[in-house]
Amino acid sequence: MSEATRAPGALAGKRVIDLTRVLGGPYCTQILGDHGAEIIKIEPPQGDEVRDWGPPFHEGDASYFIGLNRNKRSLGLDLSKPEGRDVLMRLLENADALIENYKPGTMERWGIGYEDVLSQRFPELVHCRISGYGGDGPLGGYPGYDAIIQGTAGWFSVNGTPDTGPTRVGIPMVDMGTGLYAAIAILMAIIERGSSGRGQYIDMTLFDSAVALMHPYLINYLLSDTVPTATGNAHPNVSPYDKFRTKTVDIFFGCGNDRAFGKLCTVLGRPDLPEDPRFNSNGGRVTNREALTGELESVLVKLDGEAICEKLLKAGVPAGPVLDTAQMYHHEHTKYREMAVSKDWYKMSGIPIKLSRTPGSIRSLPPKFGEHGRDILAEAGYEAGEIDALVEGGTVLEQRRS
């Protein structure tokens, strides 16, 4: 890791109290933590359940947890106890943001809802709630996981092929997309607070995020009144934009305009194709996609995939081989971009947001459950005896409760 990765970060001095578990919320706070925010991860007595989502494991913590929780400190806290809620309120005194993903209404039942309590006691606090569907409406209050929302929001229907039928997107992009939206929303609210002096409540849902990410399928439907179907690896609006067989490996390339298509055909030795009335416009190429694929693959199956990708890239046509996870991680460009990082036992993707003056950094590894509880409480003004009492009373936990 370079010296730049040890910089304080653009969000140095900001404190976020993180009550989230699983994926969307932890992904959001890892982004904020990577860029210098202090993240206090408050875990319930049983811990964040994704600590168990393995194998593989490292010292009892699953890969799923490890991939989402660097640059955080962990405090085990039972918020169902009044004493636990008192601890939370103490920690919020110096916090910029609170993020949680409890079932809507939970915070209110505990007597620490935003409108009646938090906004009154901490008027500058930004409170972000992530839920499946929100607190009201036909689906309000119901739980939601990534795959369930993918199905409800139409993602299954446009993913896969006619042979596979509706298929889940392998990467949990509903959760991760919601985490990204939540990070943007928190930063927006903090920026706005600079002029108004007031915090605000952010209502983030997996469902809203999934609907917003249904591009271009939703707008295609609204303009054509034709329900989109799965197109496999092909783009619904652009051709050629697909995976193709070669003599050695599968490759993917895309031509977003006629000029790029002309360059592709020149490299492949088929300058006749752009003159073919079936293929001389993008609309024609989309309509005649199957015929075009046949023409292209008749050439590609005789060529080395890696070599042809290099020629296409040099000609200005976006192209690349289809790699697996290991090939991607060990690729020279992944290393060059510092997207393959390691520190002690920890190996993970790097930080994608590259700021020139205030780069992000990996300052601490994913915490063990409750690892920093005593330090966090001491910093909040608790005396050693008070901390001992909270631990002995089961309000603050140093070991996960089964």
Please, is 292 exposed, middle or buried when counting C-beta atoms within 10 Å of its C-beta (0-12, 13-18, 19+)? buried
Which residue's structure tokens are 């972000």?
A: 128
DSSP state of 366: P
Whether 371 and 69 have beta carbons less than 8 Å apart is answered as no
3-state secondary structure of 74: strand
Terminal C-alpha separation, the chain: 37
Catalytic residue among 175, 276, 375, 388: 175
String of DSSP letters for 106-165: HHHHTT--IIIIIHHH-TT-EEEEEESS-SSSTTTT----HHHHHHHTTHHHHSS-TTT-
> Is residue 242 flagged as an active site residue?
no
Whether 178 and 104 have beta carbons less than 8 Å apart is answered as no
Cis-peptide into 216, omega within 30 deg: yes
Tally of residues, the chain: 402
Cα 237 to Cα 216: distance, rounded to the nearest angstrom: 8
Element (H, E) at 332: helix 332-336
- Rounded to 10 degrees, the C-alpha dihedral 56/59/65/68 comes to -110
Which residue's structure tokens are 């929001």?
A: 153
The H-assigned helical ranges of 197-331 are 206-212, 217-224, 258-267, 282-287, 289-300, 305-315, 325-329
- The residues that are catalytic are 175
